[in-house]
Amino acid sequence: MNLEPSAAAHDGSKGAKLSGGPEATAVPNYSEAGVPPAPRAAAAPDGPAANKEGAPDPIEMTTAHVIIIALGAIAFLYVARPVVLPVLLAWLAAMTLQPLVRCMSCLRLPAPVSAAVVFCLLVAAIGAGFFELERPAARWLNEAPQHMTELRQRVQKIFPKAWHFGQATAAVGDLGATEAEKKEEQRKTPMVEVKDQRGTSSVLNWTGTFLAGLGEVLVLIYLLLASGDLFLQKLVRLIPTLRGKIRAVEISHEIQQNISNYLFSISLINACLGALVSAGLYLIGVPNAGMWGIFVAFLNFIPYFGAIGGVVVLTAVGLLTFDSPWRGLLAPLLYMVLHLLEANLITPILLGRRFTLNPVAIFVSLIFWIWLWGVPGALLSVPILVSIKVVCDRIPAISAFGELIGR
């Protein structure tokens, strides 16, 4: 086989060297030899134009998937609230009681025994609370219409100008109406008849539903406390790499510790606030002071609206208890002073900036969970938001959202 270059290639080399050595390497000039150069690969266009004729933009697909998943999760939480709410309440309660279980574990007690001791203490506290609150609460509910009438009379006596202004407004609305038209309007006004039997049946049904839900939550609390790290161990078994197992254990322990510390601290703060309010109401002479202290302690779990509700309730209680309006305002004033100290001094010192949340995020979360679950959603809004922030702070992929809801 002839391996020498052809004459055309030799002529096209224009004096190229054929001797040995690096400088003797001949580079043929294909453009002059008549051989067309190989076409270059076209550069891939940048930006959105790359996907005009191809697959859709992966970023847009990811965003669409996230929106669809979020909407599906909201629909699921709304439809499945009879199942999700007890599980979530039990999980948060178990996280709150975890420090007590750890203290019991320091005494060399097995996890089921420690969980049983803590569970018995919880049931005893709930039973004592129901026993103490059942009689005064039932009495207040039975006397509610009479209390409303007395409260209206007291407010009318304390603020006569406001009452006369309301009457004047009603009179302006009736201007131009004849006596016959007024009588006809009164005749057309529907009369509401309250049937006690139906109301009693509704109360009994609500009480039965509440007790059944409470039983479910208590059983789940004990099972979660007794299981310990069982679910974490099962999760670790599913992770293939050793590095992934170690990281999962570290993140899980840190999240669990932070959430339990927050919930335990908030519960302890609210319990102390309720005890101080009860003592203060007892000293100024308000009856059933323990019941109102427990009531405002539960309300304090609800941000913003809980404090407003506590002030309104204690104002009504004070005005119904005392003849003097100034003495009646001592109850809400006492609660406002204690609440301001708790919200602006005690809670920031105990929790620090780690669990400090953006007020806008708190308010938006409160509105969302009230819309989704009602009163239980209002109680769970802040614990859920804190849990989300703790998880976001520990996972780099979603840390930006944790920074967004933090202060």
Chain-centroid distance of CA 388 in Å reads: 8
| 5 band by pLDDT with thresholds 50, 70 and 90 | very low
pLDDT > 70 in the chain, percent: 70
Residue found by looking up tokens 């609390």 in the block: 221
Q: Which two tokens stand for residue 317?
A: 């209680």
Q: Quick check: is 41 in a domain?
A: no
pLDDT in tens, 228-284: 777 778 878 888 888 888 877 887 777 778 788 888 888 899 999 999 999 999 999
**Residue 197 confidence (pLDDT) above 70:** no
**Residue 48 confidence (pLDDT) above 50:** no
Chain-centroid distance of CA 241 in Å reads: 33
Q: Quick check: is 105 in a domain?
A: yes
Q: Quick check: is 385 in a domain?
A: yes
Confirm if 382 and 301 have CB atoms less than 8 A apart: yes
- Final residue of a structural domain among 197, 228, 259: 228
Q: What is the rounded average pLDDT for all residues in the chain?
A: 74
Q: Quick check: is 138 in a domain?
A: yes
Question: Nearest CA to 364 among 384, 343, 342?
Answer: 384
pLDDT of residue 340: 92
Q: Quick check: is 57 in a domain?
A: no
Q: Quick check: is 361 in a domain?
A: yes
Q: Quick check: is 350 in a domain?
A: no
- Final residue of a structural domain among 203, 228, 253: 228
pLDDT of residue 207: 63
pLDDT of residue 47: 45
| 311 band by pLDDT with thresholds 50, 70 and 90 | very high
pLDDT of residue 162: 53
Q: Quick check: is 159 in a domain?
A: no
How far is it, in rounded angstroms, from Cα 100 to Cα 221? 13
pLDDT in tens, 201-241: 555 566 667 677 788 888 898 888 888 777 778 878 888 88
How far is it, in rounded angstroms, from Cα 276 to Cα 284? 13
| 178 band by pLDDT with thresholds 50, 70 and 90 | low
- Number of structural domains, the chain? 2
How far is it, in rounded angstroms, from Cα 103 to Cα 106? 5
Side chain identity, residue 11: D
- List the domain range (segments joined by +) for residue 391: 357-407
| 195 band by pLDDT with thresholds 50, 70 and 90 | very low
- Final residue of a structural domain among 177, 194, 228: 228
pLDDT in tens, 336-356: 999 999 988 888 888 766 667
| 404 band by pLDDT with thresholds 50, 70 and 90 | confident
Long-range contacts, 266-271 (Cβ 8 Å, 24+): 266/301, 266/347, 266/351, 266/382, 266/383, 267/96, 269/342, 269/346, 269/347, 269/350, 270/297, 270/298, 270/300, 270/301, 271/297
How far is it, in rounded angstroms, from Cα 374 to Cα 81? 11
